[in-house]
Amino acid sequence: MSAGRKKNIPRTPSQSEQKETSVESVQLQQELETLRQVHSSIAALNQMTLTLQKTLESVAKNNGDMKNLNEGWKIFFGQR
């Protein structure tokens, strides 16, 4: 083999590099799990917000219906 050409031999990672990679992998897995939990929480909050919105719309409609009903009873009993 000539001095100018080196054979490219894949380098085996050192133990410290392997540990670093392992630690990074664990950290990434933990971050992924945290992001999944956050996503799940946001989805739950979104569902609660939609439910609250529908409830408030229903309350507003019922309030209007009750007001109209009370006006009708006042007219019926001659209180107007």
Query: Could you please report the per-residue DSSP string of 3-56?
Result: TT----PPPPPPHHHHHHHHHHHHHHHHHHHHHHHHHHHHHHHHHHHHHHHHHH
CA distance 38 to 29: 14
Residue 1 CA, distance from chain mean position:
60
Residue 4 banded pLDDT, cuts 50, 70, 90: low
Claim: this prediction has a pTM higher than 0.95: no
Residue 19 has pLDDT above 80, yes or no: no
**Dihedral sign computed on CA atoms, order 68, 71, 75, 80:** negative
Nearest to 44 by CA among 32, 36, 54, 55: 36
* Tens digit of each residue's pLDDT (9 = 90 or more) over 22-43: 889 999 999 999 999 999 999 9
